[in-house]
Amino acid sequence: MVVFNWTENYKYIRELSSLTDILRLFPHVMPKKTFQLLRSARDGENIFEDNIISPDNVNELFPELSSRYYASTTIKATPEGAKTLEAMYMAGRLPLTKGKKPEEASIESYLEKCELIQQNFECHEFFVRNIDLVECDTFSIEFLTDAFFVHKHGLLDTSLKIGNIVVRKYSSSYKSNSGKNCSWCHEYSWNDTSQNHHRLESGEGCQRRNNRRNDESRNYGLPE
């Protein structure tokens, strides 16, 4: 049996619940103090004698997800991380409100959610690498992005046959209004088996398409 490594599949970490949400499943837990324990482990401290959470495993149990747009991170809880918290909670090893004791708590629904995420990921990866076995004629932007990356190595303007459907990819770069940088917009288009046309796009450049810097009618943002 192959063990699913969440930290090696980073983009799927975003589907996991945050540590804050998981701690809400345990009555009377003090979130701030629990976060302090994890920070201590990240800083290299062995906070528990049995190393149930240690500098060696804290990042695997509770990986950090960085925001693309803000200088902030979110700590996520993997299934093993949630199980670890549950065991510590029931043993009275998590910080609790003064005078309170552990009560009945369940993470079963979260573990079921994680199992579904894992199954979807493994299915996605299989068909990304075996596009000749794909039988559907509608695709997600995530699937197309990964399929073109694997089979076309990131080429900008190209096509790819997925099952019996030919998908075409067109890429354009667009400048920011300041003109200091540019970003790409990737457009994917195809006709399904009923000859209905589909189009999807991705990339930060897609939002910049209508910037004044990219608009001929506004003289590309230059002074008149």
Structure tokens at 131: 């596009």
| Domain residue ranges of the chain, discontinuous segments joined by + | 6-126, 131-221
pLDDT of residue 2: 43
Entry pTM: 0.72
pLDDT of residue 1: 36
pLDDT of residue 220: 56
Collapsing DSSP states into helix, strand and coil, what is residue 137?
coil
Cβ(74)–Cβ(62) below 8 Å: no
Q: 164-172 contacts: CB < 8 A, separation 24 or more?
A: 164/137, 164/193, 165/134, 165/137, 165/190, 165/191, 165/192, 165/193, 166/190, 167/139, 169/144, 172/205, 172/209
pLDDT of residue 211: 75
Q: Tens-of-pLDDT digits for all 224 residues of the chain?
A: 345 565 566 677 888 999 999 999 999 999 999 999 888 988 888 888 788 888 888 988 998 887 655 557 889 999 999 999 999 999 999 999 999 999 999 999 999 999 999 898 889 989 999 999 998 888 999 999 999 999 988 778 899 999 999 999 999 888 777 777 888 889 999 999 899 999 999 887 777 777 766 666 665 555 55
Provide DSSP, 30-67: -HHHHHHHHHHHHTT---STT-SS-TTTHHHHS-EEE-
Measure the CA dihedral 38/52/112/15, to 10°.
Answer: 30
